[in-house]
């Protein structure tokens, strides 16, 4: 007797019949055989692969590579491309013009294959399909959408996810100005994708080889625009710094920009500088993760560096580290909030110097440091707090700078309406060099910030789960009974963003205000199986802020221990 439910077996066989990828066909065929022979683990794996579809939402698609409707693979990507094409033909066709779609890809496994499949299906649907000339950073794709006045762009990447993941990020042109999709476009595109999937065999989808390859000039124009963000000041001469691409695609593009902007070349983390989708030297290719920057620290100690710059694998995020004798190893990673506040300070000061503050704004996600609002107030700029994600931040009216604490920074909104780790790296080199020119360090700048705007401190507590239903259970428990205190500090009030608060679109977020002015925000991660708690305090002194954030973090961890 077969160990496989007949409906599940039929789903798997239907998938096998249309899958153009020999590797995933063989993978699924072997799994199906083992399951039918009574292998319980194989049967469970098979059921998981067809337990619904990998959901298409405001982050596009992202998931583990493999066969099945609940994995990233060529069948799913072809369905997504055909669904997006139908959406564009139905919604974006002014004056009968043929919509243009730009497709880019990074160095992850199958990124190039998924990109080529998508471009051929876009062309087959009657769209003008343009494929970027080689693997490139995500910000170059975001730039190209605006450069070509395209109707849409697709970037095949899973950013900093684990090695066996890939993803499909969608941008829209026109009134969206090259930003990532938001509601209702995401639901409309998802409905078209579901309709394509319901039609059956992807082999029936029209394809065309009439795909244009973008010229290198589009990359050159991105390089020129980004080098202009922060031409090297006098203090740049002799700057000793280290760079790691985290096995991603950032270095080839950044190298040109560093040269054109006039900065000295960095010492490279050689083991991580070339694209490698296996990410062999890191457990997670995310500079936020413990251990991910150990090789950069080692290189910095060897060369006597003053600064470390790191990008994540698709180079849309930036990490920074500075010397600090008070910590083990002598190097300290700056938090995403610290980097964001320095970059925001730079943007606001430049706007004020140029007399361009009228209607200009700073923006950050609601989980990012409230210090950005203090900067905006100091310089007479508008300030906007948004839901998490650059799909929201980039849409802030009058934005001149935006950031989120997860190492994402938008420093050049005239050319890229998304986080851009490369332009942020150039801006950070400019900040460090300007300080260096007057005998100061980045650490000195952090102290100057405290003296100017107040001492802000942030922290994050999170749990990674194997069963994502655990996250829903914890959020439900918090909604059912709000905590009365976090540690020794009483909770003053709670905002539930599912109910709509302060003009935010509804979201699965709880915001707790404590009686001492501290803030705690709880939300599920949008890209990983994590529940995250974001903590923020402000005090008159750095020591006071550090003491308060440590106590708040201890209280948050105790709360999670009780609920997990």
Per-residue 3-state assignment (H helix, E strand, C coil) for 24-84: HHHHHHHHHHHHHCCCHHHHHHHHHHCCCCCCCECCEEEEEECCCCCCECHHHHHHHHHHH
Indicate the DSSP class of residue 307.
Answer: E
CA 147/CA 214 separation, integer angstroms:
11
- For 463-470, the CB contacts below 8 A with 24+ separation are 463/530, 463/531, 463/560, 463/564, 464/528, 464/529, 464/530, 465/529, 465/530, 465/531, 466/529, 468/529, 470/531, 470/564
From 69, 111, 159, 458, the catalytic residue:
159
Looking up tokens 């062999």 gives 280
Query: Residue 271 in contact with residue 299, Cβ under 8 Å?
Result: no
**159: annotated active-site residue:** yes
Q: For residue 168, what is the enclosing H or E element?
A: strand 165-172
Q: Which two tokens stand for residue 90?
A: 């139905």
**Could you tell me where the DSSP H helices lie in 92-172?**
111-124, 138-147
Looking up tokens 């200009």 gives 360
Query: 64 CB contacts (<8 Å, ≥6 apart)?
Result: 71, 72, 164, 165
Of residues 29, 120, 41, the one with CA closest to residue 74: 120
Catalytic positions: 159
């Amino acid at each position: 007797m077969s160990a496989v439910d007949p409906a599940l077996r039929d789903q798997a066989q239907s998938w096998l019949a249309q899958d153009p990828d020999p590797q995933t066909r063989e993978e699924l065929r072997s799994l199906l055989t083992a399951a039918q022979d009574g292998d319980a683990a194989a049967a469970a794996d098979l059921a998981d692969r067809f337990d619904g579809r990998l959901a298409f939402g405001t982050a596009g698609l992202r998931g583990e590579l493999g066969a099945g409707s609940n994995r990233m693979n060529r069948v799913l990507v072809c369905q997504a491309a055909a669904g997006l094409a139908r959406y564009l033909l139905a919604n974006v066709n002014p004056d009968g013009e043929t919509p243009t779609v730009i497709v880019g890809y990074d160095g992850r496994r199958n990124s190039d294959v998924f990109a080529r499949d998508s471009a051929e299906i876009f062309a087959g649907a009657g769209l003008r399909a343009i494929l970027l000339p080689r693997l490139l950073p995500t910000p170059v794709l975001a730039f190209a959408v605006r450069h070509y006045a395209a109707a849409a762009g697709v970037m095949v990447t899973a950013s900093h996810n684990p090695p066996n993941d890939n993803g499909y990020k969608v941008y829209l042109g026109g009134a969206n100005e090259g930003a990532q999709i938001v509601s209702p476009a995401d639901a409309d595109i998802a409905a078209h994708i579901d309709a394509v999937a319901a039609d059956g065999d992807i082999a029936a989808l029209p394809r065309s080889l009439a795909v244009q390859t973008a010229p290198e000039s589009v990359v050159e124009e991105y390089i020129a625009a980004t080098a202009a963000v922060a031409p090297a000041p006098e203090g740049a001469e002799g700057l000793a710094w280290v760079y790691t691409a985290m096995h991603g695609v950032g270095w080839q593009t950044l190298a040109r920009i560093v040269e054109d902007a006039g900065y000295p070349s960095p010492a490279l983390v050689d083991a991580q500088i070339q694209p490698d989708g296996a990410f062999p030297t890191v457990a997670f290719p995310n500079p936020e993760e413990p251990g991910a920057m150990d090789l950069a620290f080692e290189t910095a100690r060897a060369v006597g560096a003053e600064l470390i710059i790191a990008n994540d694998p698709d180079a849309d995020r930036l990490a920074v580290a500075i010397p600090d004798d008070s910590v083990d190893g002598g190097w300290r990673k700056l938090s995403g909030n610290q980097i964001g506040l320095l970059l925001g300070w730079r943007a606001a000061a430049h706007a004020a110097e140029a007399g361009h503050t009228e209607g200009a704004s700073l923006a950050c996600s609601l989980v990012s440091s409230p210090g950005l609002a203090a900067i905006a107030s100091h310089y007479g700029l508008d300030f906007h707090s948004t839901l998490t994600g650059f799909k929201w931040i980039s849409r802030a009216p009058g934005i001149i700078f935006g950031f989120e604490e997860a190492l994402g920074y938008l420093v050049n909104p005239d050319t890229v309406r998304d986080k851009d780790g490369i332009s942020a790296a150039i801006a950070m080199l400019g900040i460090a060099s300007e300080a260096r020119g007057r005998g100061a360090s980045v650490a000195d700048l952090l102290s100057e910030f405290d003296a100017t705007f107040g001492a802000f401190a942030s922290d994050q507590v999170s749990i990674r789960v194997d069963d994502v239903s655990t996250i829903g259970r914890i959020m439900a428990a918090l909604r059912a009974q709000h905590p009365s205190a976090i540690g020794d500090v009483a909770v003053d009030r709670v905002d539930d963003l599912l109910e709509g608060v302060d003009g935010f679109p509804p979201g699965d977020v709880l915001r707790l205000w404590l009686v001492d002015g501290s803030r705690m925000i709880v939300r599920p991660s949008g890209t990983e199986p994590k529940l995250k708690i974001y903590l923020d305090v402000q005090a008159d002194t750095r020591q006071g802020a550090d003491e308060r954030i440590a106590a708040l973090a201890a209280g948050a961890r105790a709360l999670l221990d009780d609920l997990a």
